[in-house]
Amino acid sequence: MRETDLYPAIKKYLEKQGYEVKAEVNDCDVVAVREGEPPVIIELKLSLSMPLLIQAVDRQSLTDSVYVAIPKPAGKSANSLWKRNRRGLIKLCRRLGIGLITVDLKKTPGRATEVHCDPAPYAPRKNKRRSGRLLKEFSQRVGDPNLGGTNKTKIITSYRQDALRCLSFIDQKGAVRLKEIREQTQVDRAGGILQKDHYGWFTRVDRGIYDLTPVGKTALQTFSNAIAQL
């Protein structure tokens, strides 16, 4: 496959809309002009990549109407970056104000193009609910127990910290009533933590009375540093 294989479909698509289309004009892969309007520039590549996006952003100094065009993944390439992150990549192009086109090379040029987004100013809608959850988690978490970046260690969330408070208290007292755990640890959600037992640390030995499982006793060692910070 070559970048030039994309050109017939892109040219046909633009000509249907009344554009005059020419290739390789002043380093631009495709330039389309319609009377009384700014030019449209399309950069052709075999995959969506950072160099392609940088190139497209550079073309925005020439016109606001800039697109990138890539082949529609098929066969062995179906697990490509585009295929795995389609929605996120479309959102990224929108955020940059860049249009995005895929070309299905198995179809005839007149039916091969799919426009996923057009160039336009982008103002993302804020998700107040998610933002609220973010700030709530930040404020409830004690200290900074995690390392930024992907790693193999368990993330210490505020929920896990509350579970560790319960874990540590039961370790000190032995089998104990839920009411006492809630009062002494000041963990309001202690009931849900022990009853759902998300981590497998707790066991109910009688009505309203909880003790530690073997997994819970192991967790005391695994999370000893996190418990000490609490």
What number is the average pLDDT over the span 13-42?
A: 92
Q: Please, what is the average pLDDT of the chain?
A: 90
How far apart CA 16 and CA 24 sit, in angstroms, is: 20
Categorise residue 186: left if φ over 0, alpha if ψ from -120 to 50, beta otherwise. left
Helices (H), 141-206: 158-173, 178-185, 190-196
pLDDT value of position 76: 60
Assess if CATH 3.40.50 describes domain 3-117. yes
Q: Percentage of the chain with pLDDT > 90?
A: 66
Q: How confident is the model at residue 175 (pLDDT cuts 50, 70, 90)?
A: very high
How far apart CA 110 and CA 129 sit, in angstroms, is: 44
What are the residue boundaries of the structural domains of the chain, listed by start? 3-117, 142-229
Q: Could you tell me how many residues make up the chain?
A: 230
Specify the residue for token string 């804020």.
126
Of 52-66, 119-133, 213-227, give the lowest mean pLDDT range.
119-133
pLDDT value of position 80: 65
**C-alpha 168 chain-centroid distance:** 35
Contacts of residue 122, defined as CB under 8 A and 6 or more positions apart, other chains included, come to: 94, 95, 96, 97
User: pLDDT tens digit string along 101-138?
Assistant: 999 888 887 788 999 999 988 776 778 888 898 888 98
Does residue 54 carry a pLDDT above 70? yes
User: pLDDT tens digit string along 135-170?
Assistant: 889 899 898 888 887 777 888 999 999 999 999 999
Just give the CATH number of 142-229: 1.10.10.10
pLDDT value of position 147: 81
Q: Are 148 and 178 in contact (CB under 8 A)?
A: no
